[in-house]
Amino acid sequence: MLDIILRFVEILIAGIFSGFIGSLTGLGGGTVLTPLLVLFLGVPIYYATGASLISTIATSSGSASAYIKDKITNVRIGMGLEVATSSGAIVGSLSAGWIYSHGLAWIIYIVFGVVLLTSIIPTVQRGKYEIPKPRPPDWTNRVFKLHGEYHDAALGRTIEYWGVRWWLGEVIMFFAGVISGLLGIGSGALKVLGLDWAMNLPMKVSTTTSNFMIGVTAATGSSIYWYFGYIQPFIAAATAIGVLIGAFIGTKVLVKLTNRFVRWIFIVILNFLGVEMVLRGAGIARILVVPLAYEYLLSTVTSIILMIVLLLKYGRRR
């Protein structure tokens, strides 16, 4: 009895941590949650991804209601891109079903790790500025009404912006959807990439719009996960509650934090978990078997190196 309550609390805490990081970064709660559950709590990866996808809906809906009030989210851009994302999520979750039913779960570990690690790159590169340099509006801007404005509390002024290259956004979003369905995450990193790199939107608009989209994408994927049986009620219950609590705390902090600070912390976390997942996947597939202690050591060392590189390269610039 007590051990069961304890197990629930463990999963709950993993959820709170993930929800907090997820809402600060716009990645959604799942990106950090699945590795935590799989690596440290011994949850089978299909239940972890199922729980994570469910929790992602909770984060997205919970914090979206707060952002709508602030009017930072661009609903038109979000909904337009959701066409590609939800189609992608169907493809991705069906692929996940195929992979698990063929006993190839290690593929999910490795892809998960690689996705975690690659989501570091845009995060580092975009660390330099918050509001993108305006690009000349193109035809998609006119047709799809890709403009808006919001009040930035940190900068203390109203920011006007417009989006370009809608088609490129759609392409990236389709892949974001596939990854979301495949790995049971919100795929927020790819969504932010599509929104701020491809469509040239300000970071805050990307983050909140991506957060809005994550809910719909995750609902699409969850429905298929539901049918496959990847949703375990006890685990999903604990993570849904935990992630929501974490996300709630995160939303309170987001509006106040400058973006650089947000990026730094989660770059290190992403790196650690990413290296871990790749090594674990390689271990299951018997490609490369590393003892657990070395696995953690390797992940920690690469994270420290990454942090030092980042500090040397960007730390002194203001």
Partner 1 sequence: MDMDSVIGMTLRIGVIISIILISIGVALIIVRGEGMGYSLSELSSMRSPVNSSVIPVITAINEAPSLDGLSLIVLGLIVLIATPVIRVLLGIASFAMEKDWLYVAITIIVFLDLMIAIFIIPMFLR
Interacting residues with partner 1 (CB under 8 A): 1, 4-5, 7-8, 41-44, 47, 50, 54, 57-58, 60-62, 64-66, 68-69, 71, 75-76, 79-80, 82-83, 86-87, 89-90, 93-94, 143-145, 215-216, 218-238, 240-241, 244
- Lookup result for tokens 């049971």: 184
Q: Which DSSP helix (H) or strand (E) runs through 162?
A: strand 157-162
Q: With beta carbons less than 8 A apart as the criterion, state whether 14 and 239 touch.
A: yes
- Minimum CB separation from partner 1 for residue 226, in Å? 5
Q: Is 150 helix (H, G, I), strand (E, B) or coil?
A: strand
Q: Which is nearer to partner 1, 228 or 314 (CB)?
A: 228
Q: Which amino acid is at 129?
A: Y
Return the number of the residue (147 or 260) whose C-beta is nearest partner 1.
147
Determine whether 210 is exposed, middle or buried from the number of CB atoms within 10 Å of its CB (0-12, 13-18, 19+): buried
Could you tell me the maximum CA-CA distance found in the chain, to the nearest angstrom?
A: 63
* Least distance between partner 1 and beta carbon 265 (Å): 26
Q: Shortest distance, CB of residue 8 to partner 1, whole angstroms?
A: 7
Q: What are the phi and psi torsion angles at 157 (to 5°)?
A: -150, 170
Shortest approach of partner 1 to residue 318 CB, angstroms?
A: 36
Which residue number, 54 or 262, has a Cβ lying nearer to partner 1?
54
Cβ at position 210, least distance to partner 1 in Å: 14
Q: Which is nearer to partner 1, 101 or 158 (CB)?
A: 101
Tell me the CA end-to-end span of the chain in Å, nearest whole number.
53
How big is the chain, counted in residues?
318
Q: Of 209 and 303, which has the nearer Cβ to partner 1?
A: 209
